Amino acid sequence: MVRLNKLTDYAVVILAEMAQAGGVTTASALAARTGIPGPTVAKLLKILAQRGLTLALRGRAGGYGLSRAPTAINVAEIIEAIEGPVAVAACVEGALENCEFEPVCAMNGHWNRVNEVIRRALTGVTLADMVDAETPAFGFPRPPAKGRERGLGETPAI
C-alpha cells in the first residue's frame, strides 16, 4: 500500500512528541507518552541520533532532544534515516539495490519521475506541520505554547 513500515511511523510519532515537549526527554518518558514499547523507542532514538536528527545527552540527567527546530526537519529526512533512500522500486536512482530485469524492462527509468514527485512531496512536509497544534495530542494536555518556552536543557518534568 505504498506503506511506511511501522518503525518509520513510530519514529515520526516520537519526533513529533519531542517537538511538542521541547527540551530534553528520556527514552522511557517518550515510550510512556506515545504507547510505543520502550526498547523500540530506545532503538529508534539511537538511530535518529546517529543520523543527526536528535542530540543525545548521556549521564544521569541525560536524554534526547531535537537537533534542529521542528520547522527545519522534514518527513523525507526521517524516513530516510530509518529506511534508507526513498525508492518505490529497485531500479530508481539512489536505490540501494539493482533490478535484475533492468536491461529488459519496458519502463527503463520511468519510475524515477514517480519517485521524484513522491520524494518532493515528503520533503515539503516538516515535523512542525505534523504537530501543528490545531488538534493537540489527546490525553497529554499541556500549557499554551507561550508557557513552555524554555530553552533546551531545562529537562522534562518526568
CA count, 13 A, side-chain hemisphere, 7 = 16
Q: Output the CA angle 44-47-51, nearest 5 degrees.
A: 135
Q: Of all helices (H) and strands (E), which one includes residue 63? A: strand 63-66
> Would you say 45 and 30 are in contact if contact means Cβ atoms under 8 Å apart?
yes
Q: Which is nearer to a second copy, 140 or 149 (CB)?
A: 140
By beta-carbon proximity to DNA, the closer residue of 26 and 126 is 26
Which of a second copy, DNA, none does residue 59 bind (CB under 5 to 8 Å by kind)?
DNA
Close Cβ partners of 53 (under 8 Å, ≥ 6 residues apart):
15, 66, 67, 68, 73, 77, 78, 81
The interface mask with a second copy, positions 49-88, x = CB under 8 A, is: --------------------------x---x---xxxxxx
32 binds, among a second copy, DNA, none (CB under 5 to 8 A by kind): none
Partner whose binding site includes residue 109, from DNA, a second copy, none (CB under 5 to 8 Å by kind) = a second copy
Report the residue number, 59 or 147, with the smaller CB distance to a second copy. 147
CA angle 35, 44, 9 (to 5 degrees): 60
The residues that touch DNA, with contacts defined as CB under 7 A, are 3, 5-7, 10, 26-28, 37-40, 42-43, 45-46, 49-50, 56-64, 158
Q: Residue 48: which residues within 8 A CB-CB, separation 6 or more? A: 11, 14, 15, 54, 64, 78, 81, 82
Q: Which residues bind a second copy (CB under 8 A)?
A: 1-4, 9, 12-13, 16-17, 20, 34-35, 75, 79, 83-90, 95, 101, 103-111, 113-114, 117-118, 121-122, 124-125, 129-132, 135, 137-140
